[in-house]
Amino acid sequence: MKSIVWIKHASQLATLAQNSEGPRIKEAMNELSIIEDGSVWIEDGVIKAVGTTTELERKFNDRAHEAEITDASGHLVTPGLVDPHTHVAYGGSREREFEMRLEGATYMDIMNAGGGIHATTRMTREASEDELVEQSKKRLDSFLQHGVTTVEGKSGYGLDLENELKQLRVMKRLQDEHPIDLVPTFMGAHAVPTDYKGREEEFVELIIDEMLPAVADEKLAVFNDVFCEVGVFTPEQSERILEAGKMYGLIPKIHADEIEPYGGAELAAKVGAISAEHLLKASDDGITAMADAGTIACLLPATALFLREEAAKGRKMIDEGVPVAISTDCNPGSSPTTSMPLVMNLACISMRLTPAEALTAATYNAACAIQMENKTGSLEVGKQGDVVLWDISNYQELQYLFGVNHVKTVWKKGVKVVG
């Protein structure tokens, strides 16, 4: 028997339906393609029809008895949110560092003293695969509760061959064992491990000569990410690692210009990265280069808030034609949150995105940042039935009634997973 979900009478069905290929830019980021009194018909996990309730009733009334019907009267309905940048599969927790930063220590002070990413690396290395799967599942459950149905996840807390592979295998298991779609990124270049201090070049070679081939061999990742930052990997090292990844079919991403301006945005454009992340300190030239190259800016306003830094120039980037996506950056150090709704709120409050742009950045453009736009990110015929029903009536309220989780029901591939 077929499994059929029929959502009817949404006060606003924000479909984000596409009229062109690729991520939305400029004014197109404001177009949500809203259908009033909207309806979606999902059959065996796939969207078969989208339109007004009247249109779909004409089409399906004789099959209504086959469907599980949800009356969405008075409610906003959107595509499942997409989080295109997380470090979700980690071990342990770092709440003490939060206190230390409030007492005056900086993020880099803590990392250089062997804490930060190094602390999570120790805890991730100590954890078994099963333990990491269990800890990460709880976070993925929380993502679902917040309306997120697709998540990117990075390695980078193993920092040696065995443990990088372990983290990626954990993500592969999560993809099989959890309803969320988890898209894996290799990030061996997340930090230079403490035992390679003074031998940074050797670690770069280890990534290029051993880790990248092994990751590609087991097909454990789609993307290759680098933390290009003063005191971590230089632009020159980052370029080598990303170019080497390309040889193995891994698509570049870059943690760029987060803490200091370092030419990361320019490098992202140069190597043809699909996206550049953070960009708090990106230069004007770097922003122009990204607009010209079509590099997606993946902006992380919760990280900026948590580190008490000024957010990236999201408004300027959109106005200059950079496609913008937003993300939690979910990680134990700089952004231990799973709330994409909060991130949308912050995108408006701290980067001056419009409520509609924030929703585009968290759905369709976010899907583009992880090459999932043919499967999810909008409500269109042929895509997965990834849908959120919100306990509010319009998309402006979603951003305006901030800091609250308005999720009522979530369907992943046509299966009700929340509510």
Q: Which residues bind ligand NIG (CB under 6 A)?
A: 87, 116-117, 120, 227, 255, 258, 303, 329, 331-334
Cβ proximity to Fe ion: between 174 and 276 the closer is 276
146 binds, among ligand NIG, Fe ion, none (CB under 5 to 8 A by kind): none
Specify the residue, 331 or 409, whose C-beta has the smaller distance to ligand NIG.
Answer: 331
CB 362 to ligand NIG: min, Å: 17
Residue closest to Fe ion (Cβ)? 329
Q: Which residues lie near Fe ion (CB under 5 A)?
A: 329
Give 204 or 299: the residue with its C-beta nearer to ligand NIG.
Answer: 299
Shortest gap between Cβ of 333 and ligand NIG (angstroms)?
2
Select from ligand NIG, Fe ion, none the partner in contact with residue 227, using the beta carbon and a kind-dependent cut-off of 5 to 8 Å: ligand NIG
Least distance to ligand NIG, CB of residue 306, Å: 9
Residue 415, C-beta contacts closer than 8 angstroms, at least 6 positions apart: 3, 45, 179
Nearest residue (CB) to ligand NIG, 107 versus 395: 107
Q: State how far the Cα of 355 lies from the Cα of 120, in Å rounded to an integer.
A: 35
Residue with CB nearest ligand NIG?
A: 333
* Cα three-residue angle 151-372-43, rounded to 5 degrees: 95
- Residue burial 18-31, b: 16+ Cβ < 10 Å; e: rest: beeeebbbeebbee
44 versus 99: smaller Cβ distance to ligand NIG: 99
Q: Which residues of 118-137 are buried (b: 16+ CB within 10 A; e: fewer)?
A: bbbbbbbbebeeeebbebbb
Q: Least distance in Å: CB of 230 to ligand NIG? A: 12
Q: Which is nearer to ligand NIG, 238 or 409 (CB)?
A: 238
Using alpha carbons, list the distances in angstroms from residue 108 to 114, 138, 417.
10, 28, 39
Using CA atoms, how far apart are residues 407 and 316, in angstroms rounded to an integer? 30
Q: Which positions ≥6 away from 385 have C-beta within 8 Å?
A: 5, 40, 42, 45, 46, 47, 411, 412, 413, 414
- Beta pairing, strands 296-299 & 275-278: parallel
Least CB distance from residue 361 to ligand NIG, whole Å?
17
